[in-house]
């Protein structure tokens, strides 16, 4: 069976999944794994479709010093021990800039263009591109597809897309992109099946995790997002501040003498829940901590999420459903309950028992807004895009021939 490999590379880990391609073009997840501890304590773990452990192996630091080496090691295991040789590799790439509004097959020219956006997503972009570069050098003919977190939002109208800045900056690409698009696209794709009554209506999706944002869907299309030019904007996150007055950045420059690189590191790594709490960037730890600052961080996160829900409701001119997804959204009943409590004015009312059980539908029957908890699947979305692009390319080649 032909397979597609999906890679999602971070700063110290590479998550990967292998999907088999059925004769009818359907995709079935076969393997789910990750190489973490890159550069410190490398460890490769993977499970099969049935959950059985396929590998749990540690490596010397020198053997897996960076993300490129991690994907090489994982690939060697897949080919050598499992005899899996994917026909294509799909990658999550956070920022597509103004040039890419849909998935694209990557060559050296595309890679060079995507490298221009590293400064706009320094926590993600360089690591997203590292395995692409490595595979291009080793297997230049192997199709690789970049799938962008910004692409799903590129249909926004001018009012949602622009900042109040001169036109020449907009022409250069300074605009509100929005992120977590692969997650929102997946949720939009499954709503007709799991919640047909709301699929074509006004839906707010809250992707709440270490990175967090919210999106307004109208008939399955993104019309507004809490994030903007970079993945710093909007909701507070694990280590990122979310919405902040640009004057704060000017203050850091003029009064604190901070250089651009220092400010970038500060905003991406020292703020958010970590900065507020002084305890942790992990919501699970904050919820169990007895520190007043930890409680403040949780309350702040909930407060800001409720404010952005109101903003998105205004963009939609009402709301019919609220969907929680991603790590915190899917697994933290207390956070969902607290956000829902602040949205009572919108008609949100959740069932405490259903919420504690992480049921799919957690709203009460009388709630004017249906509230769902739906697991996201960005990797499946990437596999779908990769297979679709590969299939179109194959058909086009057949027509030309």
Edge-to-edge strands, sheet with 14-21? 53-58, 43-48, 27-36, 14-21, 3-9, 88-93, 144-148, 104-105
Q: At what angle do helices 333-342 and 292-316 cross, to 10 degrees?
A: 50
Q: Rounded to whole angstroms, how far apart are CA atoms 347 and 350?
A: 10
DSSP string, 48-80: ETTS-EEEEEE--GGGS-SHHHHHHHHHHHHHH
Per residue, the 3-state secondary structure of 148-215, as one string, reads ECCHHHCCCCHHHHCCCCCHHHHHHCCCCCCCCHHHHHHHHHHHHHHCCCCCCCEEEEEEECCCEEEE
Longest CA pairwise span in the chain (Å)? 69
pTM listed for this prediction: 0.94
Average pLDDT of every residue of the chain:
95
Active-site residue numbers? 149
pLDDT in the model for residue 399: 45
How many alpha carbons fall within 13 Å on the CB side of residue 33? 25
Q: How far apart are the two ends of the chain, measured CA to CA in Å?
A: 25
Whether the CB-CB separation of 183 and 325 falls below 8 Å is answered with yes
| Spatial separation of the C-alpha atoms in residues 218 and 248, rounded to whole Å | 34
The Cα–Cα gap between 148 and 90 comes to 11
Quick one: pLDDT at residue 215?
98
What is the tens place of the pLDDT at every residue in 236-259?
999 999 999 999 999 999 999 999
What pLDDT was estimated at residue 68?
Answer: 87
**Which parts of the chain register pLDDT below 50?**
397-401
- pLDDT tens across 298-357, in order? 999 999 999 999 999 999 999 999 999 999 999 999 999 999 999 999 999 999 999 999
């Amino acid at each position: 069976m032909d397979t597609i490999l999906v890679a999602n590379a971070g700063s110290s880990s590479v998550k990967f999944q292998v999907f088999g391609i059925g004769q009818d073009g359907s995709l079935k997840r076969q393997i789910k794994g990750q190489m973490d501890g890159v550069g410190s304590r490398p460890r490769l773990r993977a499970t099969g479709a049935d959950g059985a452990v396929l590998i749990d192996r540690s490596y010397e630091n020198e053997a897996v010093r960076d993300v490129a080496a991690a994907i090489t090691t994982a690939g060697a295991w897949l080919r050598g021990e499992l005899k899996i040789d994917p026909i294509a590799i799909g990658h999550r790439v956070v920022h597509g800039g103004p040039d890419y509004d849909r998935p694209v097959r990557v060559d050296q020219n595309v890679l060079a263009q995507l490298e221009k956006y590293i400064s706009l997503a320094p926590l993600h972009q360089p690591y997203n591109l590292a395995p692409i570069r490595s595979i291009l050098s080793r297997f230049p003919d192997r199709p690789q597809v970049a799938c962008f977190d910004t692409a799903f939002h590129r249909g926004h109208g001018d009012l949602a897309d622009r900042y109040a800045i001169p036109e020449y900056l907009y022409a250069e690409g300074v605009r509100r992109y929005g992120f977590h698009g692969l997650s929102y696209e997946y949720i939009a794709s499954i709503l007709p099946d799991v919640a047909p009554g709301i699929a074509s209506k006004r839906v707010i999706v809250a992707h709440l995790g270490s990175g967090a944002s919210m999106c307004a869907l109208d008939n399955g299309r993104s019309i507004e997002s809490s994030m903007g030019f970079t993945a710093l904007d909007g909701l507070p996150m694990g280590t990122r501040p979310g919405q902040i007055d640009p004057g704060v950045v000017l203050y850091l420059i003029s009064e604190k003498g901070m250089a651009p690189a220092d400010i970038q590191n500060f905003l991406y790594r020292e703020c958010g829940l970590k900065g507020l709490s002084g305890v942790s960037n992990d919501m699970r730890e904050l919820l169990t901590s007895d520190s007043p600052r930890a409680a403040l961080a949780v309350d702040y996160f909930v407060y800001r999420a409720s404010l952005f829900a109101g903003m998105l409701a205004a963009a939609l001119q009402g709301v019919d459903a609220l969907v929680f997804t991603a790590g915190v959204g899917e697994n933290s009943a207390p956070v969902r309950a607290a956000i829902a409590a602040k949205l009572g004015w919108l008609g949100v009312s959740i069932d405490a028992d259903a919420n504690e059980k992480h049921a799919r539908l957690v709203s009460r029957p009388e709630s004017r807004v249906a509230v769902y908890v739906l697991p996201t699947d960005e990797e499946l979305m990437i596999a779908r895009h990769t297979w679709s692009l590969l299939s179109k390319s194959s058909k086009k080649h057949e027509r030309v021939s």
